[in-house]
């Protein structure tokens, strides 16, 4: 027996069931009982996407501080070794004085002065303007005094952190909805398996009785074969149902982040979950779009677009920086014209950019308008989705009530037909038809229950109420 509206969810299972079973045999199995709420809480703690959303929030916190630190004092220290192969020099020439060229003891006469006296110079050593080997140390302290882009960036980091928080909430509510649907699917399959098991037991008993009746000549071979065919059909359907159920349990484990080797027992009851749906209350509840996370995230995106526009406009403003630098040489030269301490304030004033800043502002303006258009369209789409889902819930609930009556009717018809067959009044064909009718009614009932739960989960997600 197949559940057309349910089995489509099984395609979400990413891992091969045979590989999972082999893995389970290689590891010690741990059995865990979980209600729906416990499964959702477990998923929030252990699902990979949920854990990544927590890391995204931590990254956003660091990003906020990273941006804030740009406007805080910056201190940098550096060192530099320098070797000069030729040291520059500066020479001042020599000092003139008289030098005689007469022999020692020879008297100097006036007529000999012009002939024997020459002028000589004392050589003055040149002054080196550096040293061959030197090491320079410097410390620089800088401070951003004013920047329009920095001010906008600080505002943007807070909005970025807000969006990260909203994305984390959306990840969690999406995960809760997914787990709730899979949980309900497993319960539906469990109920379907129970119905098939009971039907197979009844059919096997009937088949055994008919074999005895055949030996006594009370029935024909065709009737016995017909019941045996029904028994084999139920057996195949039960085997298929078991495989679907195992795959669904593996899907739940994958979604909540549980090892595939472990065993999970679902403690909630399908009827209890379905009975929590108060149709009157749901229909009477008005949709508040401001509670919807998708709408909140898009509102934050609109704020970011507005900040992008503001940042482009801030490029028309000047930027002011202050810098202090201290330089120290390990070997001081005789003449050093480099100042050790320097303080400066720099101003960068944008004047003309050939229109590039203007077109950037225009681009950001159009992007902001696009975001507003998308937000308006999303609001209408969410409102339509809420109305459609509410109608789906109403239809599913009405179908559920009808299917409950159909179950009682088809079960009563099948039981009476079975009694008539044992009395020789009804044929085996009638038993087969009535059994299929009963099983179809069971399938429709569980489909309607699942549709109720799925629609309710969707509405709760729209209202951020999961």
Q: How many helices (H) and strands (E) does the chain have?
A: 12, 10
Average pLDDT of 325-339? 84
Q: Would you state the pLDDT for residue 219?
A: 73
Which pLDDT tens digit goes with each residue over 365-393? 999 999 999 999 999 999 999 999 999 99
pLDDT band of residue 338 (cuts 50, 70, 90) is confident
pLDDT at residue 386, as a whole number: 94
Across 91-105, 160-174, 191-205, 430-444, which has the greatest mean pLDDT?
Answer: 160-174
Percentage of the residues of the chain whose pLDDT score is greater than 90: 55
The confidence score (pLDDT) of residue 105 equals 57
The band of 203, judged by pLDDT with boundaries at 50, 70 and 90, is: confident
Residue 231 above 80 pLDDT? yes
Q: What pLDDT does residue 380 have?
A: 96
* Range with lowest mean pLDDT among 125-129, 267-271, 288-292, 354-358: 125-129
> Where residue 3 falls among pLDDT bands split at 50, 70, 90?
very low
Q: Is the pLDDT of residue 5 over 70?
A: no
pLDDT at position 392, please?
A: 92
Cα dist from 180 to 36, 39, 184, 187, whole Å: 7, 9, 6, 11
Average pLDDT over all residues of the chain: 85
pLDDT of residue 22: 43
Angle between helix 356-422 and 293-314 (nearest 10): 170
- In this predicted structure, what is the pLDDT of residue 313? 94
pLDDT tens readout for residues 33-53: 999 999 999 999 999 999 999
458: pLDDT strictly greater than 80? yes
Lowest mean pLDDT among 60-64, 90-94, 164-168: 90-94
pTM for the model: 0.79
Range in 41-55, 212-226, 338-352, 373-387 with the lowest mean pLDDT: 212-226
Lowest mean pLDDT among 1-15, 328-342, 451-465: 1-15
pLDDT on residue 103: 52
Q: Which two tokens stand for residue 186?
A: 């497993």
Q: At 89, which helix (H) or strand (E)?
A: strand 89-90
Q: What is the pLDDT of residue 28?
A: 65
| Sheet with 74-83, edge to edge strand ranges | 74-83, 133-146, 319-329, 341-348
Residue 67 pLDDT > 80: yes
| pLDDT score of 207 | 84
In this prediction, residue 94 carries a pLDDT of: 56
Note the Cα 211 to chain centre separation in Å: 62
pLDDT of residue 13: 43
pLDDT tens profile 101-127: 555 555 555 555 555 555 455 566 777
Rounded Cα distance between 59 and 16, Å, is 34
More confident residue, 15 or 181: 181
pLDDT score at 108? 54
**Where is average pLDDT lowest: 15-24, 70-79, 130-139, 288-297?**
15-24
Tell whether the model's pLDDT for residue 93 goes beyond 70: no
At 123 the pLDDT is 61
Show the domains of the chain with their CATH numbers.
4-71+147-315+353-462 (1.20.1600.10), 92-125 (no CATH)
Confidence of residue 357 (pLDDT cuts 50, 70, 90): very high
Average pLDDT over residues 221-236: 86
Q: What is the pLDDT of residue 12?
A: 45
pLDDT exceeds cutoff 90 at 292: yes
């Amino acid at each position: 027996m197949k559940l057309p509206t349910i089995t489509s969810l099984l395609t979400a299972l990413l891992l091969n069931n045979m590989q999972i079973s082999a893995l389970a045999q290689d590891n010690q199995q741990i059995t865990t009982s979980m209600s729906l709420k416990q499964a959702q809480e477990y998923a929030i703690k252990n699902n990979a996407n949920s854990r990544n959303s927590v890391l995204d929030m931590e990254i956003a916190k660091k990003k906020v501080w990273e941006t804030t630190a740009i406007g805080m004092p910056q201190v940098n220290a550096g060192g530099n070794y320098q070797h000069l192969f030729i040291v520059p020099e500066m020479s001042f020439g020599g000092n003139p004085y008289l030098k005689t060229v007469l022999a020692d003891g020879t008297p100097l006469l006036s007529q000999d002065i012009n002939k024997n006296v020459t002028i000589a110079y004392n050589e003055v050593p040149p002054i080196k303007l550096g040293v061959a080997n030197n090491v320079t140390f410097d410390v620089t302290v800088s401070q951003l005094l004013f920047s329009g882009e920095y001010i906008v960036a600080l505002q943007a980091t807070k909005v970025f952190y807000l969006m990260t928080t909203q994305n984390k909430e959306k990840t969690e509510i999406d995960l809760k909805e997914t787990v709730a649907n899979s949980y309900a699917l497993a319960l539906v399959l469990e109920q379907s398996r129970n119905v098939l098991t009971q039907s197979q037991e009844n059919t096997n008993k009937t088949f055994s009785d008919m074999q005895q009746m055949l030996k006594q000549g009370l029935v024909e071979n065709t009737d016995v074969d017909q019941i045996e065919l029904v028994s084999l059909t139920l057996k195949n359907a039960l085997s298929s149902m078991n495989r679907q159920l195992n795959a669904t349990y593996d899907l739940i484990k994958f979604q909540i982040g549980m090892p595939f080797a472990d065993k999970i027992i679902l403690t909630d009851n399908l009827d209890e979950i379905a009975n929590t749906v108060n149709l009157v209350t749901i229909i009477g509840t008005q949709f508040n779009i401001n509670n919807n996370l998708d709408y909140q995230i898009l509102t934050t995106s609109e704020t970011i677009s507005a900040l992008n526009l503001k940042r482009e406009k801030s490029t028309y403003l000047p930027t002011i920086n202050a810098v202090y630098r201290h330089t120290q040489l390990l070997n001081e030269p005789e003449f050093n014209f480099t100042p050790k301490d320097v303080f400066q304030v720099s101003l960068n004033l944008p004047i003309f950019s050939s229109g590039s800043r203007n077109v950037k502002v225009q681009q950001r303006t159009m992007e902001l308008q696009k975001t507003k258009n998308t937000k308006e369209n999303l609001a209408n789409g969410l409102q339509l989705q809420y109305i459609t889902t509410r109608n789906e819930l109403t239809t599913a609930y009405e179908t559920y009530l009808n299917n409950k009556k159909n179950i009682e009717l088809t079960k009563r018809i099948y039981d009476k037909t079975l009694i008539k067959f044992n009395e020789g009044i009804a044929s085996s064909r009638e038993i087969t038809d009535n059994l299929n009718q009963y099983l179809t009614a069971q399938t429709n009932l569980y489909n309607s229950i699942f549709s109720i739960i799925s629609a309710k989960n969707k509405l709760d997600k729209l209202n951020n109420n999961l």
